[in-house]
Chain A
Amino acid sequence: MNVARPTVAEERWLTAASRHPALRAQIEALGQGGGWKTTTPLGRVLGVLLTLLGMSLLGGALSAFRSPWLVTGVLLMIAAEIMIARRRVYRSGIEEVLYLGGAVAAVMQILDWSNGDSEAGAVALLSAAVLLVGWRLLNPVLTTLAAAGCSLAISLVGTHLLGGNLRTLESAAFCGVLAIVALLAGARRWQRPSHDFMLDGLVMVMPWLGGMWLMGDAWRDDARSGFALVISTAFFSLLLATGLRRRQHAPLIGALGSLACAGYAAHELVEWPTYWQLIAAGAALLLTAWLSDRRLRSREDGLSSRAVDDLPGIELVQQAGAAVLAPQPGAPAAASVGGQGGGFGGGGASGRF
């Protein structure tokens, strides 16, 4: 069956154009992208949001039908295929949400008809649908989401190798194994960038998801926290070393996630008050990052901290992030601070406002 999607060569050119904005006009002038239409990350985000809104409205409009989920799902997938085949859209956000929403709606209808009471089976079926859509659209977000869904399905299975109290350990093991397999596979040179991105997604998300499963509510004690701390620290070291050696971003991002998990596990073990832990960890992180930046910013080759490419929207995100931390007025609060009333936190006061 001939599936409408960019060939390997076309995808490589499309990726080159999006990754290097300064060369985009020249790359597009070559016409090697096969006529596929892509958009910017911000445009993709808006496409996703508007399509989600449209899908919910379509669900309401078709609610008069006897099986609205199935009808809606099939219609959405047909619309996505038409968009891809005729309009040749690729990673626009619109066809991705249409396909995903369609597949999930169809599976939900099947689950409704089957009257099955297996939560694990339902989650596994939904994850399989998401995986197929991710594979069809070459979308790493969806394939990673499917893997996360699989780990949830494992935790929901009735019988467990390690016993009922340790069920989240199996999910954590699944995430850990998947992360290591993806890390090993990531060393290979992949021709299709999206296949590499799918592995990157697993390397970035699975380690911290595994850490979260380890610290699930099944075993709340110091042994669990200690074990989670050791495993998360091991993953952090492994990913950091791999990222720096291979010069890949995905393991470094995965390392940051593992560091957060290790920090959370340490928080359970350390007797300090949480605010001191937050202040100490934040100050240590800031100091480490500052010193790293100071040491690396003047480098023209090798490992560097200078901004080398113009990531669209990064300035906007930083400004919004700073504004979110800024002092904001809140609702009037009962006296909790020195008799003047109000709570206090974040970048400013929230009391009496």
Chain B
Amino acid sequence: MHDLSEELRTLPPAGVQEPARQLALKLETRQLFSIHRELLVVMYAAVAMVVAGVGWLVKSNLERIGPITLLTGILAASALCHAAALRAHMAGRVRSLGEDYVLLLGALLFSAAVGYAEVQFDLFGAAWSRHLFWLSLWQAAMAYYLRSRLVLSVALAAFAGWMGAELSFGSLFEPRQPLAGFGPRALLCALVFWGGGWLHRRRQPAEDAGFREVYRQFAANFAFWGALALIAEPDTRWAGAFVLMVLVFVVGRAGLAERRQSFLLYAVGYGTVGLVWLESMVLDDRIVRSWLGLFTVVGALVLLMRLRAQLKESTA
């Protein structure tokens, strides 16, 4: 083990935030020892295990248990999880880490129940994917009511699913029609998410509960994924390159202005990958392609080094 308290004690008093120093000293001397991160990992793993187990249970035992029993069981479990979060909400207190993850489990179980009901009872017929839209609306409503960023993430992912923009790398290569394919859909998703964030722009941080940031993160990622998907299609390659450059400029500028390291990293990372990808598709000679790609990456790395100061001062 090591202990940096000696260094922290020698910090000159001028300019030092004393509460921050006292907290740091407590942590270094292990007077205070937080297992917050370990609990976070355990809770996520636990939620993932339960959700995976429920999915498997449904798939394996449908005929033996029966659809109504299964659906009732999953919905009851989901309601129990929501009740725990509602209890905290009614008491007017901030949810604990445990309650946050129990709520996430409830939201995911509810999603599983709705998806299962759609598969089993064919509620929307040919418009089967619409259940994802209604699910996203319900999850968004719960997220707003219970002020949960995790549930909002689930809602936005369900919305993207309804739009046909999967969260998987392989979907970039799906042979769809260029204008109805992944690229335009992802860009449309990004626009909707950006709009969601825009509606939150005037809210105070305490009132906003971090929702604006969730919308903006989803918007930035889906926008870049859409641009990369456009580049992958021969018909929309140059349009994709143009969209990518606009996004690099807009997102990078926002990152610099707001000191958000995540936005700066998206601009540099996605921009470089997109350019190298474009070069590899446009050029025929492998050696020339490699050298040009190498120069592009070296340029990006130099830029990353130069942005170091902004990265360190940002908070995202």
Contact = CB atoms under 8 A, between A and B. Distances in A.
B276 A57 contact: yes
B290 interface: yes
B3 to A, nearest CB: 7
A126 B156 CA distance: 44
Nearest to A273: B60
A33 to B, nearest CB: 11
B169 interface: no
A302 B31 CA distance: 5
Nearest to B280: A57
Contacts of A350: 115
Interface stretch (A87-95, A152-160, A220-228): A87-95
B40 A318 contact: yes
A301 B154 contact: no
Q: Is the interface of A mostly helix, strand, loop or mixed?
A: helix
Contacts of B195: none
Contact of A308 (B34, B47, B101): B34
Interface in A296-353: 296-297, 300-316, 318-329, 336-338, 340-353
Nearest to B286: A60
Contacts of A23: 8, 11, 16-17, 20-21, 24
Contacts of B24: 16, 19-20, 22-23
B60 A50 contact: no
A341 B121 CA distance: 11
Contacts of A281: 46, 49
Contact of B49 (A188, A282, A315): A282
Given A248-B1, A286-B46, A325-B154, A256 B41 contact: yes
Nearest to A290: B98
Interface in B99-143: 99, 101-102, 104-105, 108, 111-112, 114-116, 118-122, 128-129, 132, 135
A19 to B, nearest CB: 7
A4 B114 CA distance: 59
B59 interface: yes
Contact of A20 (B8, B261, B293, B298): B8
A143 B35 CA distance: 25
Contact of A57 (B43, B293, B311): B293
A57 B297 contact: yes
Contact of B42 (A192, A193, A256): A256
A87 B308 CA distance: 13
B301 A47 contact: yes
Contacts of A39: 304, 308, 311-312
Nearest to A286: B46
B98 A54 contact: no
Contact of B53 (A278, A291, A348): A278
A15 B35 CA distance: 20
Contacts of B122: 340
Contacts of B168: 328
B59 A337 contact: yes
Contacts of A13: 7
Contacts of B98: 286, 289-291, 293-294
A75 to B, nearest CB: 11
Interface string B72-113: 000000000000000000000000111101101100100110
Contacts of B3: 189
Interface string A84-116: 000101001010000000000000000000000
B305 A50 contact: no
Nearest to A342: B119
B149 A58 contact: no
A319 B293 contact: no
Contacts of A270: none
B50 A279 contact: yes
A314 B112 CA distance: 26
Interface string B258-274: 00011001001100110
Contact of A283 (B50, B62, B63, B262): B50
13 contacts: A20-B20, A42-B261, A42-B262, A285-B43, A304-B34, A304-B35, A324-B167, A328-B161, A338-B67, A340-B120, A344-B119, A347-B55, A347-B154
Interface of A: 12-13, 15-16, 19-20, 22-24, 26-27, 29-30, 32, 37, 39-40, 42-43, 46-47, 49-51, 53-54, 57-61, 63-64, 87, 89, 92, 94, 186-193, 196, 246-249, 252-253, 256, 273-279, 281-283, 285-286, 288-294, 296-297, 300-316, 318-329, 336-338, 340-353
Given A247-B33, A278-B50, A337-B59, 20 more contacts: A37-B308, A58-B290, A60-B293, A190-B2, A293-B96, A301-B31, A305-B39, A315-B213, A325-B108, A327-B112, A327-B114, A338-B63, A338-B67, A338-B119, A344-B116, A345-B59, A346-B51, A348-B132, A348-B158, A349-B112
Chain A to chain B: the 6 pairs with minimum beta-carbon distance, closest first: A349-B115, A278-B53, A282-B49, A290-B98, A345-B55, A60-B290
Interface of B: 1-4, 7-8, 11-12, 15-17, 20-21, 23-24, 26-27, 30-60, 62-63, 67, 96-99, 101-102, 104-105, 108, 111-112, 114-116, 118-122, 128-129, 132, 135, 149-151, 153-154, 156-158, 161-162, 164, 166-168, 210, 213-214, 217-218, 261-262, 265, 268-269, 272-273, 276, 286-287, 289-291, 293-294, 297-298, 300-301, 304-305, 307-308, 311-312, 315-316
